[in-house]
Amino acid sequence: MLFTSPLRYPLYQLGNPQLRIFRPNWFLTLVRPGKEQPPDTAQFRIPMEMTKCDVKNYLEKIYNVPVGAVRTRIQFGSNKKRNHLSQKVKQPDYKVAYVQLAQGQTFTFPDIFPEKDRTAAEGSVEEMQEKFLEDEKQKQKPDPRRGGVTEWFGL
Amino acid sequence: MAARTRLPLLFPKNLPPFRNQRLVQTEAAAKDPAYPPIVPSRTAKSKSALRRQVEEHVQKVRASPVEEKLALITRIQRQKFVVYPQTFARDADRWYQHFTKTAYIPGLPEKFTRGQEHTGGEEGSPPAAAQTTVPGIENDAFADIRSLISRVILQEHWYQKKRRPFLFREQEHMVGPLLRNLVSGLTYSLAKYNPLLPLCSLDVNPQVNFYWSRGQRIIPRGHRSGRLEPTRFQIDDHPHTQIRITQQLPEFAPLEASYDAEVPEITLAPNLMPMFRRQYDNNIFTGSKLPDPARYGHTQFHLVPDRYHRDRMARQQQSDQVEVFLRANGLASLFAWTGAQAMYQGFWNYEDVTRPFVSQAVITDGHFFSFFCYQLNTVALSVETDANNPRKNLLWGTESLRLYESVQDGEVVGLNDSVIKLLVQFLMNQP
């Protein structure tokens, strides 16, 4: 762990106020799990230098999230694809952390892109266009009075 | 003149009547034409052939004696999930309940709580009552047992000077001998009250293994992708001590009572628990080999290792997982033991148990004791046999109860009588 602080803090002697602030230079990304996880598990992408204990302390101290257990793995980014110059293109490796929450808390990844009801506003151009397209489609459908029989034969 | 007709020399007096006119219509087809039975092929590459192979294997196992049954069931090695009774996984008891189809009932069965209710009633009665709270044990015997327990505790913690043990060996050094002495002392002193105990077998650090399959999954990748594969499990347990007896303990609750019990359903794969897969010998073992007469289980005693000690869990802010760990330990160990006992009697996946198998366990870390009772009602846990199986296994368990407060100046302070009473009741359990 590297603590890089651009300021120079005054020299500390016993009794002085504690002025040093350590802010980690790491950022966690909460992701939607690819495979289904138990309800108390959250999945993060974390920097490679972080460890399980670091993740636990990070979440507990900064975000007040009660953490039960953390398991990590490193995902190898593929080196198989080649570009137009036939050079291998490497996708970056990343570390994934599975965090099990304590105190019976559960977490489900929210739906970030919900389906919107795309009805156009009254009297607008889009509504007229939609109606026109719907009429056209309705003209293409076969006659419902024939009860599903095709129009290949007959009068 | 009479022409000589060609007749035999010895002309029979009574000729058979109308030899030429055979009575055709009366000779009915009494014998059916013997065609062989129409069954699907055995070696074809078809689903019916596979079903026939499975059916024939099941018939073969049904027809063989017990040793061969066990050998045939555990013959093929495949990747299986190894279930550790003492596990660090969170919420392990819910997962284990799903794997073993067990319902958890807090508290002990009526057999043991009836004694507790008696205590409540008898406290008002005069103290000159000869019978104590435990039926069958006199006051003096109970006092003897109390003194035995305090002697055992003092021996380990007061009289014997021990050095600080090596890292993570504290429980093994301090509590291991205590538990061993406690178990053997209690067994010997209660031998005159329980007729099963003189014929019992007390194992020290035995091995208990069980192998079963439950649920299935679709293989995602590989040359077998798309096919259904049953999920196999194996438990390899080493209880601290166990008592095996020659007769079976009576059931705690009737089989039908388990039909309403609730078992948590978990649709996720076991490796999310986390649980890991390995491939090695499939073992089914109760603690002794098949010909041993003491083939039914009575009580197991487990020791909580340092890694799961409640002080360490409290330091890691995981105090709620202590009870979970104890329940998971009791569940897995007792399921393995009762399952192995049932297998030794010839019951397996396709031949379900006809009578419930019952065992008890005590899990302790020196100060706190938890008591568990397990009733195995069904061994048929695989997908085909579980489809219409309403039976569930049952686990009764207590919270951890403190036995004594501390040891001061050669005296055990705060010895809890109810815990001793429960211990005695457990060991006195007999048909």
* DSSP label at residue A37: -
State whether the Cα torsion B256-B260-B261-B265 is positive or negative.
Answer: positive
pLDDT of B1-22, one tens digit each? 556 678 777 777 777 776 666 6
Look at residue B318 and tell me if it is in a domain. Answer: yes
pLDDT digits (tens, 9 = 90+) for A111-122: 999 998 877 777
Overall domain count for chain A: 1
Q: For residue A154, what are the CA distances in angstroms to A149, A151, B303? A: 10, 7, 87
Q: What is the pTM of this model?
A: 0.86
Q: Is residue A154 part of a domain?
A: no
Mean pLDDT of B342-360: 94
Whether residue A36 and residue B90 make contact (CB cut-off 8 A), yes or no, is no
Asked if A38 is an interface residue toward chain B (Cβ–Cβ < 8 A), one would say yes
Instruction: Classify residue A151: in a domain, yes or no.
Output: no
Q: Which domain holds residue B297?
A: 63-117+201-428
Q: Give the pLDDT of residue A84.
A: 97
Q: Is pLDDT at B125 greater than 60 in this prediction?
A: no
* Residue of A148 and B29 predicted with greater confidence: A148
Q: Does B105 fall in a domain?
A: yes
Identify the pLDDT of residue B288.
93
Cα(B399)–Cα(B326) distance, integer angstroms: 9
Strand partners of residue B102: B393
User: A25-44, pLDDT tens digit by residue?
Assistant: 999 999 999 999 999 999 99
Instruction: Tell me whether residue A12 is in a domain.
Output: no
Chain A CA closest to residue B271: A37
Give which of A60, A99, A100, A105 to mutate to test B binding, by max B Cβ within 10 Å: A100
DSSP state at residue B131: B
DSSP, collapsed to helix, strand or coil, labels residue A133 as helix
Q: Is residue A53 part of a domain?
A: yes
Note which residues in 61-90 of chain B have CB less than 8 A from chain A. Answer: 88-90
CATH number of the domain that A83 lies in?
3.30.70.330
First to last CA, chain A: 85
The per-residue pLDDT for range B252-299, each reduced to its tens digit, is: 999 998 999 999 999 999 999 999 999 999 999 999 999 999 999 999
**Out of B268, B320, B321, closest to residue A38 by CB:** B268
In a domain, A146, yes or no: no
- Test the A interface: residue of B87, B90, B276 with most A CBs within 10 Å: B90
Residues in chain A, overall count: 155
Candidates B218, B273, B317, partner chain A, best to mutate (most A CBs within 10 A): B317
Q: How many domains does chain B have?
A: 1
Q: How confident is the model at residue B119 (pLDDT cuts 50, 70, 90)?
A: low
- Determine the pLDDT at residue B378: 94
- Output the CA torsion sign for B270, B275, B281, B286: negative
Q: Cβ contact (<8 Å) for A103 and B274? A: no
pLDDT digits (tens, 9 = 90+) for B138-170: 788 899 999 999 999 999 998 988 888 988 888
User: Does residue B133 belong to any structural domain of this protein?
Assistant: no
Instruction: Indicate whether A81 belongs to any domain.
Output: yes
Q: What is the ipTM of this complex?
A: 0.82
What is the reported pLDDT for B126? 41
> Does A58 fall in a domain?
yes
Q: What is the pLDDT of residue A10?
A: 86
* pLDDT-wise least confident of A143-152, B60-69, B343-352: A143-152
- Does residue B38 fall inside a structural domain? no
Q: Is A37 on the interface with B (CB under 8 A)?
A: yes
> To the nearest 10°, the Cα dihedral for B384, B385, B387, B388?
150
Residue B5 lies in a domain: no
- Residue B123 is predicted with a pLDDT of 43
Report whether pLDDT(B223) > 90. Answer: yes
- Which residues constitute the domain of residue A73? 29-101
Tell whether B323 lies on the interface with A, counting CB pairs under 8 A: no
CB B397 within 8 A of CB B109: no
Which residue from B88, B272, B320 is facing A38, i.e. has the nearest CB? B272
pLDDT for the residue numbered B27: 55
Q: Residue B336 and residue B83: Cα distance in Å, rounded?
A: 10
Q: What tens digit of pLDDT does each residue of B359-372 get? A: 999 999 989 999 99
Q: Is B152 inside any structural domain?
A: no
Instruction: Check residue A102 and give its pLDDT.
Output: 93
